[in-house]
Chain A
Amino acid sequence: GAVVSQHPSRVICKSGTSVKIECRSLDFQATTMFWYRQFPKQSLMLMATSNEGSKATYEQGVEKDKFLINHASLTLSTLTVTSAHPEDSSFYICSAPVGTAHGELFFGEGSRLTVL
C-alpha cells in the first residue's frame, strides 16, 4: 500500500531556533498533503493543507509565518517551525489522501518536537 515517510521522528531544539520536518510520499504522487498537530488527550488538529506548486491553505488560528509549508514536488512537503518556543512542543503528523474524497488518509510516522 501507499507509504508516507516523515522525518525526523524526534527533534529537540532550543527556543528561538527553527526546525524543518519533511514528509515524503514514497510510492505515489501527492498533489495535496495535510499537516496535523496533536496534543495529549486532544483530537487531531488540522493546521494546513499543502498544495503542490501553490501556496498552502492554513486553518483559522494557525500562523502562516510561524509554520512555513513548502510543497515543491509531488512527493515532498515540508513544515518549518520558525523561532520555536516551548508552546510549539507537540506531535506533528503529515498525511496524504487516497483518491479525491480526502477522508482516507495515509499518515506519516509523526514528529515529536520538544522546544527547550
Chain B
Amino acid sequence: EDQVTQSPEALRLQEGESSSLNCSYTVSGLRGLFWYRQDPGKGPEFLFTLYSAGEEKEKERLKATLTKKESFLHITAPKPEDSATYLCAVQEAGNNRKLIWGLGTSLAVNP
C-alpha cells in the first residue's frame, strides 16, 4: 500500500539548534515529493518539489533532500518564526496525479 510517514510527530528546538525532519515513502514509482509548511488555522504553503534521488533544494534556512526511500527537511539555525507544521506529500508516477499526504511534523522553536 502506498504511504507516507513523517517523523518525528513533534519537535521542539531552541533557537539556533539545527535539526532534520524525515519523510519516508512507499510508492511503486515516484513522480514527485513535495514539502509544505502549514501555520495553525491556515492552508498549507508550498515549499519544495523534489523529483529524483540526490536532488536538493534550498530556501533560506531550509534544505530538502531526497533518496529513493525518504526525504529530509534540514532546518539550519531555526528561528521562532519557523515554528509550524511541515507536511510532506508524494505523487506517484503514472496517470493518477493524486497526492499522498503525511501527517506532518509539528515544529516549535523556542526563543
Closest to A111 in B: B43
Question: Are B103 and A107 in contact (CB-based, < 8 A)?
Answer: no
Q: Return chain A residues, CB-CB under 8 Å to B104.
A: 43
Cβ contacts B74-102/A at 8 Å (1 or 0 each): 00000000000001010100000111011
Question: Could you tell me the distance in whole angstroms from the C-beta of A75 to the nearest C-beta in chain B?
Answer: 17
Question: Are B43 and A101 in contact (CB-based, < 8 A)?
Answer: no
Tell whether A103 pairs with B42 under 8 Å between CB atoms, given A42-B103, A43-B104.
Answer: no
Asked if A95 is an interface residue, CB under 8 A from chain B, the answer is yes
Asked if A88 is an interface residue, CB under 8 A from chain B, the answer is no
Q: Interface residues of A, CB < 8 Å — how many? A: 23
Task: Please report the C-alpha to C-alpha distance between residue A88 and residue B54 in the assembled complex, in whole angstroms.
Answer: 42
**Chain B's interface: helix, strand, loop or mixed, by majority?**
strand
Question: Are A103 and B89 in contact (CB-based, < 8 A)?
Answer: yes
Task: Compute the total of residue contacts between A and B using a CB distance below 8 Å.
Answer: 57
Size bracket of the B interface: 20 to 34
Question: Are B91 and A102 in contact (CB-based, < 8 A)?
Answer: yes
Closest to B48 in A: A104
- CB contact list, B38-59 vs A, under 8 A: 41-46, 49
Using a CB–CB cutoff of 8 Å, the interface residues on chain B facing chain A are 4, 31-32, 34, 36, 41-46, 49, 87, 89, 91, 97-99, 101-104
* Shortest 4 CB-CB contacts between residues of A and residues of B: A107-B43, A102-B97, A43-B101, A103-B91
Could you show 6 A-B contacts with beta carbons less than 8 Å apart? A46-B99, A101-B31, A102-B97, A103-B49, A106-B46, A107-B43
Using a CB–CB cutoff of 8 Å, the interface residues on chain A facing chain B are 4, 6, 41-44, 46, 91, 93-95, 98, 101-110, 112
| 19 additional A-B residue pairs with CB within 8 Å, beyond A44-B44, A46-B98 | A41-B103, A43-B101, A43-B103, A43-B104, A95-B43, A101-B31, A101-B32, A101-B91, A101-B97, A102-B97, A102-B99, A103-B32, A103-B34, A103-B89, A103-B99, A104-B49, A105-B44, A107-B45, A112-B41
